[in-house]
Amino acid sequence: MAVVSKIVKWLILAGLFVLVVGVSAYLTLTAIIDSEAVVVIPDLRGKHVVYALERLTDLGLNTKVKGSSYNHDIPKHHVILQNPEPGAEVKSGRDVNLSLSRGPDSIQLPNVIGLSLQQARVIVESNDLKVGNLTYSHHRRIPRQHLIGQYPPAGTQTATQQAVDLLVSLGPRPKGLKVPDLSGVDLDEAARLLDRYGLSVAQVGTRHQPGHRANVVISQSPPQGQRLASGEAVSLVLNRLPPDLERPTAISGGLHLFRYRTPQGFLKHQLRVRLSQGDVTRDLHDALVPPGQEIWLLVAGPRPASLFVYLDNDLVETKVLD
């Protein structure tokens, strides 16, 4: 009986050993299978951080916030970037790094009223803003080319890279301007003289009149001495060479290539090129141009024609195309 009892005990122990080994193997295999579980990364871009945290936790992934930055398009506390990318397959328990938006960066608008246009440009652009539309008006106290107003107003909280519209003074409004005598001067001098008087060139015509140099003014309308309001225009007629002495156009086919380079420096310039061609006057170019940049304009149409180049609203060059 003692021998049988010992055998039974050994069999029971052996059975328990096998059971323990089997359970351990099962648990180990299950752990290995679970550790190899694959998860597909969801697209969390543009989602709120709380949503991203809940979604990643449900998938058995760890959320790590790795920095934040200003963003004009994605609201504050929403995901800008994620790593791994959406659709990537990773093992459960993997870290997912998120970069969050701090919302649009904002700045308090500076006060540029009373400053020169050039100073205002420097201040606006140094505050990571842009100069928007420029409008002009007379003002009895604020000098010409200085700021009367701005929009949005100073002190307004706004996002960076927003445009600030500026109202620029033309100086005091003259009571009445006498048209100067422009006869015998070339177009460049006539345009500059009118500009000093607060007037402009309306249109430019030509005709041949013996005894005068080419491209000088031989008549004007209104005539010398007539009073005009500031900003009104004067039409000019220039002396043209006889047809047999006219020069060919600069490019075949009736085209002319006009080139102009802005001055060197640090600030952009408002460059406007106006074309006067017969009874038609129009702007060929009107935009902010970086310093030292050259623009090329191809001018087509009937001759003669005249070009007027304005830099920051000041006439700097004229050219007759004949």
Together in a domain, 155 and 73: no
Domain membership of residue 48 (yes or no) is yes
Residue 37's contacts (CB-CB under 8 Å, 6 or more residues apart) are 60, 91, 92
Q: Which of 84, 101, 118 is the last residue of a domain?
A: 101
Residues 198 and 128 in one domain: no
Angle at 127 between CA 121 and CA 130, to 5 degrees: 50
The answer as to whether 10 is a domain residue is no
> Are 151 and 232 within one domain?
no
Choose among 56, 55, 47: nearest CA to 99. 47
- In this structure, the answer to whether residues 67 and 144 fall within a common structural domain is no
Q: What's residue 239's pLDDT? A: 86
Does 236 reside within a domain?
Answer: yes
Q: Are residues 317 and 195 in the same domain?
A: yes
* pLDDT string in tens for the chain (322-residue length): 566 566 666 666 666 666 766 666 666 656 555 555 788 999 999 999 899 999 999 888 999 898 888 887 888 899 999 999 998 888 888 999 999 998 777 788 999 999 999 999 999 998 888 999 999 988 889 999 999 999 999 988 888 888 999 999 988 876 677 889 999 988 888 888 888 887 888 778 778 888 888 888 999 998 988 888 777 888 888 888 765 554 444 444 467 778 889 998 878 889 999 888 777 778 888 888 888 888 888 787 666 788 889 988 888 888 887 6
**pLDDT (0 to 100) of residue 31:** 56
Q: Are residues 207 and 263 in the same domain?
A: yes
21: in domain: no
CA distances 253 to 7, 278, 289, 300, Å, are 118, 19, 29, 9
DSSP code per residue over 155-174: T-EEETT-EEEEEEE--SPP
Bridge partners, residue 275, by sequence: 282, 307
CA dihedral 206, 208, 213, 215 (to 10 degrees): 10
Q: What is the rounded distance in angstroms from the CA atom of residue 7 to the CA atom of residue 240?
A: 134
Instruction: For residues 88 and 39, give the distance between their C-alpha atoms in angstroms, rounded to a whole number.
Output: 8
237 and 162 fall within a common domain? no
**How much is the pTM?**
0.36
Nearest to 128, CA basis, from 107, 149, 113, 112: 107
| Same-domain status, 60 and 114 | no
Report how far residue 164's alpha carbon sits from residue 132's, in angstroms, rounded to the nearest whole number: 5
Verify that 234 and 201 share a domain, yes or no.
Answer: yes
Q: Do 127 and 96 fall within a single domain?
A: no
Buried b (16+ CB within 10 A) or exposed e, 270-297: bbbbbbbbeeebeeebeeebeeeeebee
Q: Identify the pLDDT of residue 20.
A: 65
In the chain, what is the straight-line distance between the N-terminal and C-terminal CA atoms, in Å? Answer: 135
Report the CATH number that the domain containing residue 46 is assigned in CATH.
3.30.10.20
Cis peptide before 290 (omega within 30 of 0): no
In a domain, 29, yes or no: no
Shared domain check, 84 and 112: no
- Under 8 Å between Cβ of 106 and 159: yes
Task: Give the structural domain span for 256.
Answer: 177-321
Last residue of a domain, one of 80, 101, 122: 101
Residues 6+ apart with CB under 8 A from 61: 39, 41, 90, 92, 93, 94, 95, 96
Whether 18 is covered by a domain: the verdict is: no
In this structure, the answer to whether residues 183 and 305 fall within a common structural domain is yes
Q: In total, how many domains does the chain have?
A: 3
Tokens of 270: 């408002």
Q: Is 14 part of any domain?
A: no
The sign one gets for the Cα dihedral 122, 291, 130, 271 is positive
- Confirm whether 79 is domain-assigned: yes
Query: What is the reported pLDDT for 153?
Result: 92
Single residue among 85, 101, 117 that ends a domain in this structure: 101
What is the predicted pLDDT for the residue at 166?
94
Distance CA 273, CA 297 (A): 9
Contacts of 176 (CB under 8 A, 6+ apart): 227, 228, 229
Nearest to 129 by CA among 101, 103, 147, 152: 152
Question: What is the SS3 string spanning 123-146?
Answer: HHHHCCCEEEEEEEECCCCCCCCE
